Amino acid sequence: MTELADISLHRVSTAEAVADALVGLIVSGTLRAGEPLRESSLATKLGISRNSLREAIRLLERSRLVKYEIHRGAIVSTPTLTDLEDLYRTRRQLELAGVLQEPSEEQLAAITAAFTELQNTATHQVAEPIVAADLALHQAIVDLLGSERLSSFYRQICKELVFYFTVLSYTDEEYIDPEISIVSRHQGIYDAIISGDRELAHALLEQHIEENHARLREILTNRLEAEQE
């Protein structure tokens, strides 16, 4: 589990970088669901200004990992099935639209670079970088839409997806044998995109998203039921 003392942000000045560090703390469980984000304490432990932390928290509020409550301030959100359904509805629309586009040579190169990075990262069998590489490949698919606004929106969506992807990776121990559990699932999608078979790429990607969604729904349902017992 990540500890606050293990993270140093003295050389980081952007709100995005601070937000990424907070995402890591949320995903690892160091900052738990329902826990208040106490600005003074966190800023001191992370070695950053309260203004930088406040900006980062606002970014996480947009990605729904953090919410504001009266009398409590910013707290870590508790994932719900409604959140998951809405997130995957959005993901499905963007990715499936992207994969149907005719890619440019530059976009194909970006897809290839992202898939190669996923393959390389998988050899290390560490969940967090594998998840990052996985999401980078899906970002490259959305980038096929050729819209910076949509690409930027999806990057924000990824701040939520990283939580769910990491939960899935640890629950099913996907990072232990990622060649089978992760890389092979993306190989067919990648091959279809590169070969120009957009209908096959769409069908394989849709199946992948649906299977991923169903498994996450099962995991989250089990968690919520366990909390109520």
Task: Return the residue matching tokens 């990072």.
Answer: 175
Q: How far apart are CA 183 and CA 186, in angstroms?
A: 5
Chain-centroid distance, C-alpha 157: 7
> What number of CA atoms fall less than 13 Å from residue 56's CA on the CB side?
27
The residue extents of the domains of the chain are 4-76, 81-228
pLDDT tens per residue, range 79-95: 889 999 999 999 999 99
Fold of the CATH domain 81-228: Four Helix Bundle (Hemerythrin (Met), subunit A) (1.20.120)
Given this model, what pLDDT does residue 82 score?
Answer: 92
- Domain over 4-76 is classified CATH 1.10.3720.10: no
Alpha-carbon torsion, ordered 108, 124, 131, 45, to 10 deg: -130
Mean pLDDT of 159-187: 88
pLDDT tens per residue, range 112-146: 999 999 999 999 988 888 999 999 999 999 999 99
Name the pLDDT band for 8 (thresholds 50, 70, 90): very low
pTM flag (> 0.85): no
Q: CB burial class (10 A; 0-12, 13-18, 19+) of residue 105?
A: exposed
